[in-house]
Amino acid sequence: MTELEKMHAGLLYDANYDPKLIELREKCANLCLEYSMTLLNDPKRDELLKKLLGTSQLPEGLDIRPPFTADYGNLIHFGKRVFVNVNCYLMDGGGITIGNDVFIGPFCGFYTANHPLNYIQRNEGLEVALPIVVGDNCWFGANVSVMPGVTIGSGCVIAAGSVVTKDLPDNVLAGGVPAKIIRVIDQNERQK
Protein backbone atom coordinates (compact mmCIF):
# COMPACT_ATOMS: atom_id res chain seq x y z
CA MET A 1 0.00 0.00 0.00
CA THR A 2 1.10 3.57 -0.61
CA GLU A 3 1.26 5.97 2.33
CA LEU A 4 -1.77 7.78 0.89
CA GLU A 5 -3.73 4.49 0.77
CA LYS A 6 -2.71 3.75 4.37
CA MET A 7 -3.89 7.23 5.40
CA HIS A 8 -7.27 6.68 3.76
CA ALA A 9 -7.56 3.24 5.41
CA GLY A 10 -6.96 4.63 8.92
CA LEU A 11 -3.63 2.78 9.28
CA LEU A 12 -0.28 4.08 10.50
CA TYR A 13 1.35 5.94 7.64
CA ASP A 14 4.42 8.09 7.00
CA ALA A 15 3.02 11.62 7.15
CA ASN A 16 6.33 13.46 7.49
CA TYR A 17 8.63 12.02 4.85
CA ASP A 18 6.49 10.52 2.07
CA PRO A 19 7.13 12.66 -1.06
CA LYS A 20 3.58 12.27 -2.43
CA LEU A 21 1.92 13.40 0.80
CA ILE A 22 4.35 16.31 1.12
CA GLU A 23 3.52 17.34 -2.45
CA LEU A 24 -0.24 17.18 -1.76
CA ARG A 25 0.07 19.23 1.44
CA GLU A 26 2.24 21.85 -0.27
CA LYS A 27 -0.28 22.18 -3.10
CA CYS A 28 -3.06 22.63 -0.54
CA ALA A 29 -1.00 25.11 1.51
CA ASN A 30 -0.38 27.22 -1.59
CA LEU A 31 -4.10 27.20 -2.48
CA CYS A 32 -5.03 28.14 1.11
CA LEU A 33 -2.55 30.99 1.00
CA GLU A 34 -3.80 32.22 -2.38
CA TYR A 35 -7.44 31.94 -1.23
CA SER A 36 -6.65 33.77 2.01
CA MET A 37 -4.91 36.61 0.16
CA THR A 38 -7.78 37.16 -2.29
CA LEU A 39 -10.20 40.03 -1.68
CA LEU A 40 -13.64 38.96 -0.50
CA ASN A 41 -15.37 40.37 -3.60
CA ASP A 42 -12.89 38.83 -6.08
CA PRO A 43 -14.77 36.46 -8.43
CA LYS A 44 -11.81 34.04 -8.54
CA ARG A 45 -12.34 33.17 -4.84
CA ASP A 46 -14.94 30.52 -5.73
CA GLU A 47 -12.64 28.96 -8.33
CA LEU A 48 -9.79 28.80 -5.79
CA LEU A 49 -12.10 27.24 -3.22
CA LYS A 50 -13.28 24.64 -5.76
CA LYS A 51 -9.65 23.72 -6.47
CA LEU A 52 -8.87 23.60 -2.78
CA LEU A 53 -11.81 21.32 -1.98
CA GLY A 54 -11.43 19.24 -5.14
CA THR A 55 -14.98 19.82 -6.32
CA SER A 56 -16.65 21.17 -9.44
CA GLN A 57 -19.42 22.88 -7.48
CA LEU A 58 -19.44 24.54 -4.07
CA PRO A 59 -22.20 23.79 -1.59
CA GLU A 60 -24.93 26.46 -1.46
CA GLY A 61 -24.09 29.28 0.93
CA LEU A 62 -20.58 28.09 1.90
CA ASP A 63 -18.71 31.03 3.47
CA ILE A 64 -15.11 30.49 4.55
CA ARG A 65 -13.45 33.62 5.96
CA PRO A 66 -9.71 33.99 5.50
CA PRO A 67 -7.21 33.12 6.64
CA PHE A 68 -8.12 29.46 6.28
CA THR A 69 -5.80 26.45 6.42
CA ALA A 70 -6.18 22.76 5.59
CA ASP A 71 -3.77 19.88 4.97
CA TYR A 72 -5.27 18.33 1.84
CA GLY A 73 -8.53 20.20 1.22
CA ASN A 74 -10.17 17.53 -0.90
CA LEU A 75 -10.89 15.43 2.20
CA ILE A 76 -13.23 18.10 3.62
CA HIS A 77 -16.93 17.78 2.77
CA PHE A 78 -19.14 20.76 3.62
CA GLY A 79 -22.92 20.80 3.71
CA LYS A 80 -25.09 23.76 2.72
CA ARG A 81 -24.98 27.15 4.46
CA VAL A 82 -21.80 26.49 6.43
CA PHE A 83 -19.98 29.50 7.89
CA VAL A 84 -16.30 29.14 8.83
CA ASN A 85 -14.91 32.18 10.64
CA VAL A 86 -11.31 33.46 10.50
CA ASN A 87 -8.17 31.50 11.35
CA CYS A 88 -9.67 28.01 11.25
CA TYR A 89 -7.52 24.96 10.57
CA LEU A 90 -8.94 21.71 9.23
CA MET A 91 -6.35 18.93 9.47
CA ASP A 92 -8.24 16.68 7.08
CA GLY A 93 -6.04 13.62 6.52
CA GLY A 94 -8.72 11.36 7.99
CA GLY A 95 -11.57 13.21 6.31
CA ILE A 96 -13.82 15.87 7.81
CA THR A 97 -17.56 15.96 7.12
CA ILE A 98 -19.49 19.07 8.17
CA GLY A 99 -23.30 18.97 7.94
CA ASN A 100 -25.74 21.67 6.84
CA ASP A 101 -26.21 24.99 8.66
CA VAL A 102 -23.07 24.75 10.78
CA PHE A 103 -21.40 27.84 12.30
CA ILE A 104 -17.71 27.52 13.14
CA GLY A 105 -16.26 30.32 15.26
CA PRO A 106 -12.84 31.92 14.85
CA PHE A 107 -9.65 30.03 15.65
CA CYS A 108 -11.31 26.58 15.67
CA GLY A 109 -9.33 23.48 14.78
CA PHE A 110 -10.48 20.07 13.56
CA TYR A 111 -7.60 17.60 13.94
CA THR A 112 -7.81 14.13 12.39
CA ALA A 113 -4.14 13.17 12.97
CA ASN A 114 -3.10 11.15 15.97
CA HIS A 115 0.56 10.41 16.68
CA PRO A 116 2.03 7.38 18.47
CA LEU A 117 2.84 7.84 22.15
CA ASN A 118 6.37 6.47 21.73
CA TYR A 119 8.87 8.90 20.26
CA ILE A 120 10.55 6.29 18.06
CA GLN A 121 7.50 5.96 15.82
CA ARG A 122 6.75 9.70 16.05
CA ASN A 123 10.29 10.48 14.90
CA GLU A 124 9.79 8.09 11.98
CA GLY A 125 6.96 10.41 10.90
CA LEU A 126 4.19 7.91 11.61
CA GLU A 127 0.63 8.90 12.45
CA VAL A 128 -2.91 7.65 11.98
CA ALA A 129 -5.73 9.81 10.66
CA LEU A 130 -9.24 9.27 12.01
CA PRO A 131 -12.36 10.93 10.54
CA ILE A 132 -14.34 13.74 12.15
CA VAL A 133 -18.08 14.00 11.45
CA VAL A 134 -20.28 16.96 12.43
CA GLY A 135 -24.07 16.80 12.10
CA ASP A 136 -26.43 19.53 10.92
CA ASN A 137 -27.24 22.76 12.79
CA CYS A 138 -24.19 22.84 15.07
CA TRP A 139 -22.45 25.91 16.46
CA PHE A 140 -18.81 25.94 17.55
CA GLY A 141 -17.73 28.88 19.73
CA ALA A 142 -14.31 30.48 19.29
CA ASN A 143 -11.16 28.42 19.89
CA VAL A 144 -12.83 24.99 19.90
CA SER A 145 -10.63 21.99 19.15
CA VAL A 146 -12.13 18.75 17.82
CA MET A 147 -9.89 15.70 18.18
CA PRO A 148 -9.39 12.68 15.86
CA GLY A 149 -12.22 10.21 15.37
CA VAL A 150 -14.93 12.36 17.00
CA THR A 151 -18.56 12.41 15.80
CA ILE A 152 -20.71 15.33 16.92
CA GLY A 153 -24.47 14.92 16.60
CA SER A 154 -26.87 17.39 15.00
CA GLY A 155 -28.09 20.44 16.91
CA CYS A 156 -25.07 20.66 19.22
CA VAL A 157 -23.47 23.80 20.64
CA ILE A 158 -19.83 23.61 21.69
CA ALA A 159 -18.77 26.32 24.15
CA ALA A 160 -15.80 28.55 23.32
CA GLY A 161 -12.42 27.14 24.29
CA SER A 162 -13.61 23.54 24.53
CA VAL A 163 -11.65 20.47 23.49
CA VAL A 164 -13.93 17.73 22.14
CA THR A 165 -12.29 14.34 22.68
CA LYS A 166 -15.32 12.03 22.62
CA ASP A 167 -18.47 11.61 20.52
CA LEU A 168 -21.47 13.78 21.40
CA PRO A 169 -25.12 12.87 20.83
CA ASP A 170 -27.65 15.15 19.10
CA ASN A 171 -28.88 18.36 20.74
CA VAL A 172 -26.44 18.93 23.59
CA LEU A 173 -24.52 21.90 24.93
CA ALA A 174 -20.98 20.75 25.68
CA GLY A 175 -18.04 22.63 27.10
CA GLY A 176 -14.74 22.38 28.92
CA VAL A 177 -11.41 20.62 28.61
CA PRO A 178 -12.16 17.89 27.87
CA ALA A 179 -15.67 18.82 26.72
CA LYS A 180 -18.49 17.35 28.77
CA ILE A 181 -22.24 17.54 28.24
CA ILE A 182 -23.62 20.51 30.18
CA ARG A 183 -27.25 19.99 29.26
CA VAL A 184 -29.65 18.78 26.60
CA ILE A 185 -30.94 21.47 24.22
CA ASP A 186 -34.68 21.60 23.64
CA GLN A 187 -34.82 22.82 20.03
CA ASN A 188 -38.38 24.15 20.59
CA GLU A 189 -37.26 26.34 23.51
CA ARG A 190 -37.23 30.03 22.55
CA GLN A 191 -34.62 32.37 23.99
CA LYS A 192 -36.07 35.31 25.95
Catalytic residue ranges: 115
Cβ atoms of 71 and 51 closer than 8 Å: no
Cβ atoms of 164 and 176 closer than 8 Å: no
CA distance 106 to 129: 24
Instruction: Specify the amino acid at residue 43.
Output: P
Buried b (16+ CB within 10 A) or exposed e, 115-150: eeeeeeeeeeebbbbbbbbbbbbbbbbebbbbbbbb
CA distance 30 to 128: 24
